[in-house]
Amino acid sequence: MSVAFSHNGRTIASGSDDLTVRIWNIVTGECLQVLSGHRGVIPSLAFSSPENILASASHDETIKLWDILTGKCLRTLRSPKLYEKMNIRAISGVTEAQKMTLKALGAVTEVLL
């Protein structure tokens, strides 16, 4: 689905529809790391400088920052959904189908404390 070259040209990362990112040594062809954690395909990758940090963007609506030396996810970034946590418990004037759509977009029907 995606490929990114490191700035030094010795390492590449590949994002796959198997929900993993793989880090490769270009010279030897060896897979150095398999990074798992996304719940959707990974169509975009970018190396930072210094090159040990990789960003991966997924159809699961997250961006993960990885330490490619350890294989650890350093941080997961996610933008809130438009209606996330909007309380629609006492909403009126909308159909059940519209309520279901709002729930799918992140709205809730329980009392939030």
The per-residue pLDDT string of the chain (113 residues; one tens digit each, 9 = 90 and over) reads: 899 999 988 999 999 989 999 999 999 999 999 999 999 999 999 999 877 899 999 999 899 999 999 999 999 999 877 777 788 888 888 888 988 888 888 888 876 55
| Residue 71 sits in the same domain as residue 105 | no
Number of helices and strands in the chain (H, E): 1, 8
Do 43 and 57 reside in the same domain of the chain? yes
| Same domain flag for 68 and 113 | no
Whichever domain contains 30, its CATH number is: 2.40.10.480
Counting the structural domains of the chain, the total is 2
Q: Please indicate, yes or no, whether residues 29 and 51 belong to a single structural domain of this protein.
A: yes
- Picking from 22, 58, 28, the residue whose alpha carbon sits closest to that of residue 41 is 58
Structural domain boundaries, residue 112? 80-113
Indicate if 26 and 64 belong to the same structural domain. yes
Tokens of 52: 């040990």
- Tell whether 70 and 89 lie within a shared domain: no
Same domain, 94 and 73: no
My answer on whether 68 and 24 are in the same domain is yes
- What DSSP assignment string belongs to 69-112? TTTEEEEEE-PPPTTTT-B-TT--S--HHHHHHHHHTT-B-SPP
Q: Are 62 and 105 found together in one domain?
A: no
22 touches 34 (CB < 8 A): yes
